[in-house]
Chain A
Amino acid sequence: MASARSVSLPSIMNIAREWLPPLAIGALGIIAWEVWVRAFDVQRWLLPPPSSIINEIVDSRGLLTEHAFITLQEIVIGFALAAGFGALLASAIAYSKILERSLYPFVIASQMIPIITIAPLLLVWVGPAMTSKIIVVGLISFFPIVVNLVDGMKSVDQDMVDMFRTLGASKRQIFLKLQIPTAIPFLMSGLKIGVVVAVIGAVIGEWVGATGGLGWLMRLSAPQFLTARVFAAIVVLTVMGVILFAIVGLIERMVLKRYPRMN
């Protein structure tokens, strides 16, 4: 950790070494794709070349931005709700044996239900507006958050617990001042996984029925053979997902400086 911070000039080299290989592979893949489509004269509606996908992104940037914003809203709200409820649920499970035994099985069982079968039902229950998508995002992303947090809260070092006990700490004090801080790095791992599945959740939710969003746009464009637009939406969605992941990763890095993992 410390050594990474102290370098200055070689860090440019390090960054290059880190980013060059994936960029090179990506560029090669895109070139190969372009060449393949042109050489074999593949139908545009079957597989558009990268150049026409880029054109599509530029041409329909207004449309893409509009729907990306809808999807982003669903992700952010659903994810925030999942983090909030997940933290409460994990606290209850970690704090009380009885609550653990009564709640945890349902948390696990909830993940056995394929989300794809729930999504259409939600549509029937709450309508095609954004709410049903937010619920799907929440349902899919709360699980990694809860599981990681519970693990974290339970991973506390028994010697530390004993130290607290010799100082006369109550169970509540041990929970607040020891278990929660210990679990913070675990929470960050949970959030990272959670944000990735949240993106998937939003698209699934929109796919089965919506009035907007990138998933809805893809669903609508495919039957019209607007394949370039489908790919354009995928590109935007991917970039959005990567940025969200990077943001959570950045927060994690800052948080871990203060709350390191204890073994």
Chain B
Amino acid sequence: MNLTLESANQQVVVDRQQEHLLELRSVSKFFEVGTRPISNRRVLNDVTFDLSAGEFVSIIGPSGCGKSTLLNLISGLDEAFTGDISYSETTGSRLGHISYMQQKDLLLPWRNVLNNAALSLELRGVSRDESLARASTRLGEFGLADHANDYPAQLSGGMRQRVALLRATLADTPLLLLDEPFGALDALTRSEMHGWLIGLLANSGKAVILVTHDVDEAILLSDRVYVMKSDPGRIASQFDVEIGERTDHGVVTSEAFTALKATFLAALRSDDDSGEAK
């Protein structure tokens, strides 16, 4: 009796074992708007996609189409939605298992750069000294070595974003959600950060979902790009990006890149989203 039950359980486990790191199935989200009568506004409609370990996907779409809302659902912050999100790391709450760099930098004004970055380690039970030591070895990569003791109020917008990014990556989870992480950076620093991100992710096995408004950035960094449309927010089309070696800066001007960018902009502009361009 016991034996059969055990083997049955094993069977279930094998069945459940998903090959993807993250799976979204028909995810829809409503927000209640107005007061008396309260009406439901559909902000996300039937979002379905898969993400494998180590994959880099970008989400691009107009302002207000629900990109941040989608990341809030994936991160586990918002559990009020219909459909199904499954994450291979845990069947419970995804909070603490997915690093999420939100659109706002959300730095604590009473902590200096080093202490802000170390927060993610501290909250995972790493001792304070150890957290600070580990965070400080990473400051250099983020161009923050000279600012370890500065407070957020003293930093530029771009620096604040880099601190927030460092904080998110220090948590060291298999999935990283980035909501317009380079929005406040100048072109040069942005390109530096791209190079750095590519370096960090290479062979790390980490998967990334990047929300961006920058088509170049999406093509440069991603294995796959999803284009979203609004009202209701939905995935209108998806593109696989195959443009060769990413560390190569020449890629931005390559022919394949330019061609892809053209298709892309067309997809963003087009009103009809029936065709899955590929």
Contacts and interface: CB of A to CB of B under 8 A. Distances in A.
Contacts of B123: 164, 167-169, 173, 177
B153 A260 contact: yes
A181 B108 contact: yes
Interface in B54-84: 72, 75-77
Interface string B152-194: 0100000000000001000100000000000000000000000
Contact of A162 (B77, B109, B171): B77
B95 A166 contact: yes
Interface string A188-213: 00000000000000000000000000
Contacts, number: 54
B87 interface: no
Contacts of A167: 96, 119-120, 123-124, 167, 171
A159 B119 CA distance: 16
Contacts of B108: 160, 178, 181
A225 interface: no
A216 B171 CA distance: 62
B95 A168 contact: yes
A159 B106 contact: yes
Contacts of B100: 166
Nearest to A163: B106
Given A167-B120, A168-B123, A173-B123, A258 B95 contact: no
Residue with the greatest number of chain B CB neighbours at <10 A, chosen from A162, A164, A167, A178: A167
Contacts of A160: 106, 108
B110 A258 contact: yes
Interface string A242-258: 00000000000000001
A163 B102 contact: yes
Given A159-B106, A259-B110, A165 B119 contact: no
A177 B109 contact: no
A166 B124 contact: no
B246 interface: no
Contacts of A166: 75-77, 95-96, 98-100, 102
Interface in B94-141: 95-100, 102, 104, 106, 108-110, 119-120, 122-124
B193 to A, nearest CB: 20
A259 B109 CA distance: 7
Nearest to B100: A166
Contacts of A177: 119, 122-123
Interface of B: 72, 75-77, 95-100, 102, 104, 106, 108-110, 119-120, 122-124, 153, 167, 171
26 contacts: A159-B104, A160-B108, A162-B77, A163-B106, A164-B123, A165-B76, A166-B75, A166-B76, A166-B100, A167-B119, A167-B171, A168-B96, A168-B123, A169-B96, A169-B123, A173-B123, A177-B119, A177-B123, A181-B108, A181-B110, A184-B110, A258-B110, A259-B109, A260-B109, A260-B110, A262-B109
For the complex of A and B, 5 pairs with smallest distance between CB atoms: A168-B96, A166-B100, A163-B106, A167-B123, A169-B123
